[in-house]
Amino acid sequence: MSANISKATKKPAKSGRTIAALLVIFIAFAALAIFQGDTKLKLGLDLRGGTSVTLAPKVAAGGKVDTAAVEQAVAIIRQRVNSLGVAESEVSSQSNGDIIVSVPGNSSSRVVDLVGATAQLRFRQVLAVGAGNAATTASLATPAATKAGAKKPAATPATFPSGVTMALDTAFKNLDCTVPANRQGGAIDDPNQPLISCSRDGSSKYILAAAEVEGDQVSKASAVLDNTNGNGWMVLLNFNGAGTSAFGKMTTRVTSLASPQNQAAIVLDGLVVSAPRINEAINTGSAQISGSFTQTLATDLANKLKYGALPLSLSVQEINQISPTLGSDQLHAGLLAGLIGLILVVLYSLLYYRGLGLVSVGSLLVAGSITYLSFLLLGKWIGFTLTLAGIAGAIVSIGITADSFIVYFERLRDEVRDGRSLRTAVQTGWLRARRTILVADFVSLIAAGLLYFFAVGGVRGFAFTLGLTTFVDLIVVFFFTKPLVTILSKVAFYSEGNNLSGLSAKSLGVVAVTGKDAL
């Protein structure tokens, strides 16, 4: 008998520890949110407005915009924006070839820079270098120039076609890289021809040979700490087979040349990011881009290269601040709808389940608190923004949470009807209800996952919120609802079947209710 008592009291004790652990974790994450200053939800474009950026493709005089290239650019820009997190940005193309990117909020300069850059990466040999001002002159060393004592390469072809040397020299002298307008990047750039280019900060300008390695030969790009250069950041590149071969040939050839022709310029959107000297051939299929990057700049550059270069150059035509498309009235309406739904579920639970309904109310409050905290933290960690579609997903979650405890309560009441004690029914009913709850929630998670990966725009926001709240429901039902019912099963109010407990004979329908027994 004593063994049975010990075994019976072990379950409630364990349930109490489970609820306590959930409470401690919740308080810890709440403190983290407050510490990070995240006390307000980030609202999406449809609720708080944002910035609309119009990008126009650059085409040669008399040329036409390639529709297929525009659609490809839209897909790449959408991937770049999504790499920042669930930001609920909208990317669309117009009939004239313009691309419109709408981003929530007014702090959108990073997103504008990320989506507008072409990210055309090329590796070119340096032919000449000078200061960035327009008065700079440079002697164009021939490709035959070599280091002292080095063997002259045999039959080295001309670095650029004959007859254009004077034109290159004149353009080089006239270019003033100290003027910001002359280093906007994204210029129409023929990889098969030499290029006059500026450094990103305008301090230097270059004459560069035709491109020998292209950005589409990069198979992987990642941002990492550069511990050898003042703990800054750099971008590591890995080439595919063709890129490895081309990069190896270029670095092998230029190692024997005199400065500056032994430098390989890394050119991004027509600007020189860096031009390191090549001391030995690099045949490993990897390279690095350094240049005093911050973590944000290195990450954005890696994302640009990872998702591919835009198939056409774009220029920013217009940046407009836009008002909310739905406005505060719609936000209030959505919140009111959620509140009404919550109140109706609470009233139904209390009227139908009586005392057990208190467990329902507690479960809904816990689920709502965890969901709100998740929105706050995810807004900081991955840029999650709440839209009206997201609010709809959160409202749907009320029904999902209600379904879970209804399934459990009905199984519990069935076990009591069959003559089992409440303590026993709590365990046996849970074993039967658990599988149903898991199957139902996993179906919702699968649906949310499919919507998120195959849909765009607001539908993705709905799917993300639905998936998140469904996961929260699993946490609540396993770590709060069931343990709380286990604890309450020891309370005489419930175990003895009080009329208001929801477990009375009348509530269970075990006996007919007539005469004075009627309420």
Closest to 263 measured CA to CA, from 273, 274, 271: 274
pLDDT score of 278:
86
What's the 3-state SS for 379-448? HHHCCCCECHHHHHHHHHHHHHHHHHHHHHHHHHHHHHHCCCCHHHHHHHHHHHHHHHHHHHHHHHHHHH
CB 240 within 8 A of CB 219: yes
CB 437 within 8 A of CB 407: yes
pLDDT score of 87:
55
- Local confidence pLDDT in tens for the 519 residues of the chain: 444 444 444 555 688 889 999 999 999 988 888 887 767 787 777 777 777 788 888 776 667 777 888 888 888 888 777 766 555 677 888 877 888 888 776 555 666 666 766 667 888 998 888 888 876 555 444 444 444 444 444 433 334 443 346 777 788 888 888 888 777 654 556 788 888 888 888 888 888 888 998 888 888 888 888 777 666 788 888 888 998 999 999 999 998 888 888 898 888 878 888 888 888 888 888 888 776 778 887 887 787 777 666 777 777 788 777 666 656 676 777 778 888 888 888 898 888 888 888 888 899 999 989 999 998 888 878 778 888 888 888 888 888 888 888 899 888 888 888 888 888 888 999 998 999 999 999 999 999 999 888 876 668 888 889 999 999 999 999 999 999 999 988 888 888 878 888 777 777 766 544 444 433
Domains located in the chain, CATH noted = 10-43+325-507 (1.20.1640.10), 50-113 (3.30.70), 119-309 (3.30.1360.200)
With 0-12 / 13-18 / 19 or more C-beta atoms within 10 angstroms meaning exposed / middle / buried, residue 5 is exposed
Asked if the peptide bond before residue 12 counts as cis, ω within 30 degrees of 0, the response is no
What's the 3-state SS for 212-280? EEEHHHEEEEEEEEECCCCCEEEEEEEECHHHHHHHHHHHHHHCCECCCCCEEEEEECCEEEECCECCC
Q: What are phi and psi of 319, to 5 degrees?
A: -130, 120
Compute the radius of gyration of the chain from its Cα atoms.
33
Residues contacting 249, CB < 8 A, separation 6+ = 212
pLDDT score of 75:
82
pLDDT score of 438:
93
Question: What is the rounded CA–CA span in Å between residue 314 and residue 304?
Answer: 14
The SS3 call for residue 136 is coil
* Helices 67-82 & 109-116 angle (0-180, nearest 10): 140
